[in-house]
């Protein structure tokens, strides 16, 4: 699907030619209600951060061909269809800086079926776009979770659109929700599995972590048994492996406000470890606010790792535990008693020294966040400290963006780009 705004979220980037940045590009969808022959296109003005580029300057890439305005006016065999965006290339030596830019476009079309005095029609659109720098080298890898697109996926975007969006921002890892993104879960048909692998190849993405659940209170009258819990984990391990994922995060039902997992967790994991080893898929319990690192729940996981000596049970850290300010915009509704801020939203501000202690056991980081502003400042998460700590301690692995802020249409895609611009810039400092 295309974005509803004429200015598309995908495709805004600097253009590199022969090692030099020569300009920038953006993509537009057809603003008219019908497709239009190239000869009826009559220029596009582009204004970025107030700097105006006249309508005859940008190049148009349309149906695979790149044309000047004069070439477009003389063209006989290209047209701007409703279902195909065009790429507008604007010359600008050095390109645009990393970060958020204000973009306006004025598209001119000639419409012969309008009275001559008004047949040169003007369509305007405005948006913000984010220039995301390439991922720096080093041990940190940059991915995105489909969770970031909650509310938009299946409504505004297909699963393929999400993968295309992730690839468009130069991320290379994709994390999914098993019971969420797999059609006919837990039994996708073989054709869909093939499609999935095809998408990974098309978009150059690595399948990273697979989110799963062990719904211990599935039944109203009893909890799951350990064997039932293990069966759930094993089902997801097999499915994750089939789809190319290297870890599974089982989210257990909890029994307390500080997210103590149901007591079956340990036996359910024990009964799944042989399969995890056989498949070489790591089971990753999630360290998630309001549970900090220095807490019996985390300690129990670490004890389990150390006692069992397994290589297939490691920690997944959700960066919400490092928040230094509360996220007061709930991303979804929960019942709150007495209007009090729920415990899980109070900032834990876990110190970096705690992270360092468990870092050898950390397999995966869910880069949870709620808002990065126009100056690439995260309102809640201290990314500079986190990135520095990971680099100082030689950690390597995935940072997988989990946007969990307001679910306005298209906001997730924009916010993830901002976060990647921020954390890649921080990682590139050394």
- Within residues 302-321, the interface with a second copy by CB under 8 A covers none
* Least distance in angstroms from the C-beta of 41 to a second copy: 11
Q: Which of 288, 312, 380, 420 is catalytic?
A: 288
Residue 209 structure tokens:
């972590």
Nearer to a second copy, 15 or 254 (CB): 254
Angle between helix 383-392 and helix 411-427 axes, rounded to 10 deg: 50
Give 51 or 217: the residue with its C-beta nearer to a second copy: 217
Give the footprint of a second copy on residues 121-160 (CB under 8 A).
121-124, 147, 150-156, 158
Which residue's structure tokens are 């980081």?
A: 365
Options 46-54, 213-221, 370-378, 413-421: segment touching a second copy (CB under 8 A): 213-221
> What sign for the dihedral angle of Cα 202, 203, 204, 210?
negative
**Interface with a second copy includes 87 (CB under 8 A)?**
no
**Least gap, CB of 177 to a second copy (angstroms):** 5
- The helix or strand, by DSSP H or E, that contains position 251, with its residue range, turns out to be strand 247-252
Name the 3-class secondary structure at 48. Answer: strand
Q: Which two tokens stand for residue 294?
A: 């220095």
Query: Which DSSP string do the residues of 340-402 spell out, in sequence order?
Result: PPPGGGS-----HHHHHHHGGGEEEEEEEES-B-TTS-BSS--HHHHHHHHHHTT--EEEEEE
Give the residue with the Cβ less far from a second copy, 242 or 258: 258
Segment lying near a second copy (by CB under 8 A), choices 19-27, 177-185, 373-381, 413-421: 177-185
Q: Which is nearer to a second copy, 16 or 82 (CB)?
A: 82
Cα 120–chain centre separation: 40
**Using the rule CB under 8 A, is 296 a contact of a second copy?**
no
Site string for a second copy, 250-279 (x = CB under 8 A): -xxxxxxx-x--x-----------------
Asked if omega into 290 is within 30° of 0 (cis), the reply is: yes
Determine which residue in the list 93, 117, 191, 307 makes contact with a second copy, applying CB under 8 A.
Answer: 117
Nearest one of 157, 155, 198 to 8, comparing CA atoms: 157
CB closer to a second copy, 98 vs 121: 121
Tell me: does residue 333 bind a second copy (CB under 8 A). Answer: yes
Is position 335 an interface residue for a second copy (rule: CB under 8 A)?
yes
The CA distance from 249 to 364, in Å, is 10
Restricted to residues 360-419, the positions that interact with a second copy (CB under 8 A) are 409
Q: Is 288 a catalytic residue?
A: yes
Q: What angle do CA 399, 169, 331 make, to 5 degrees?
A: 65
Q: What is the dihedral of CA 317, 323, 326, 329, to 10 degrees?
A: -60
Tokens 């701007």, residue? Answer: 80
SS3 state of residue 2 = coil
Piece in contact with a second copy (CB under 8 A), picked from 264-272, 328-336, 360-368, 389-397: 328-336
Q: Which residue, 35 or 94, has its beta carbon nearer to a second copy?
A: 35
347 binds a second copy (CB under 8 A): no
> Should residue 34 be labelled a site residue for a second copy when binding is judged by CB under 8 A?
yes
The answer to whether residue 340 forms part of the interface with a second copy (CB under 8 A) is no
Catalytic residues: 288
């Amino acid at each position: 699907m295309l974005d509803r705004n004429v200015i598309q979220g995908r495709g805004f980037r600097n253009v590199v030619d022969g090692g030099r940045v020569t300009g920038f590009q953006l993509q537009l969808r057809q603003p008219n209600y019908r497709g239009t022959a190239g000869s009826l296109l009559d220029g596009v003005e582009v204004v970025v951060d107030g700097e105006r580029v006249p309508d005859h300057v940008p190049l148009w890439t349309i149906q695979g061909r790149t044309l000047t305005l004069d070439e477009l006016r003389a063209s006989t065999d290209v047209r701007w269809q409703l279902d195909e965006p065009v790429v507008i290339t604007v010359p600008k030596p050095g390109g645009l800086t990393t970060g958020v830019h204000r973009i306006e476009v004025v598209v001119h079309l000639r419409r012969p079926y309008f009275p001559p005095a008004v047949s040169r029609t003007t369509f305007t659109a405005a948006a913000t776009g984010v220039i995301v720098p390439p991922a720096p080298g080093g041990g940190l890898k940059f991915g995105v979770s489909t969770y970031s697109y909650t509310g938009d996926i299946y409504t505004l975007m297909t699963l393929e659109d999400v993968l295309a969006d992730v690839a468009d921002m130069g991320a290379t890892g994709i994390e999914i929700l098993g019971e969420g993104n797999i059609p006919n879960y837990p039994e996708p048909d073989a054709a869909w599995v093939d499609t999935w692998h095809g998408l990974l190849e098309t978009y150059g993405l690595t399948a990273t972590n697979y989110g799963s659940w062990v719904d211990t209170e599935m039944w109203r009258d009893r909890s799951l048994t350990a064997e039932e819990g293990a069966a759930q984990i094993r089902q997801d391990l097999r499915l994750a492996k089939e789809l190319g994922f290297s870890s599974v995060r089982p989210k257990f039902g909890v029994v307390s406000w500080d997210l103590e997992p149901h007591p079956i967790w340990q036996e359910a994991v024990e009964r799944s470890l042989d399969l995890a080893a056989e498949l070489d898929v790591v089971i990753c319990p999630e360290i998630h606010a309001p549970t900090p690192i220095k807490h019996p729940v985390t300690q129990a996981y670490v004890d389990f790792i150390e006692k069992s000596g397994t290589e297939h049970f490691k920690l997944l850290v959700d960066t919400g535990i490092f928040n230094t300010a509360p996220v007061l915009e709930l991303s979804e509704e929960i019942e709150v008693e007495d209007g009090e801020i729920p415990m899980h939203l109070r900032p834990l501000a876990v110190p970096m020294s705690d992270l360092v202690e468990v870092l050898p056991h950390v397999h995966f980081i869910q880069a949870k966040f709620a808002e990065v502003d126009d100056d690439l400042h995260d309102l809640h998460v201290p990314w500079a400290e986190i990135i520095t700590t990971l680099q100082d301690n030689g950690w390597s692995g995935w940072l997988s963006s989990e946007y969990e802020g307001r679910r306005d249409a298209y906001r997730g895609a924009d916010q993830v780009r901002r976060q990647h611009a921020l954390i890649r810039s921080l990682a590139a400092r050394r």
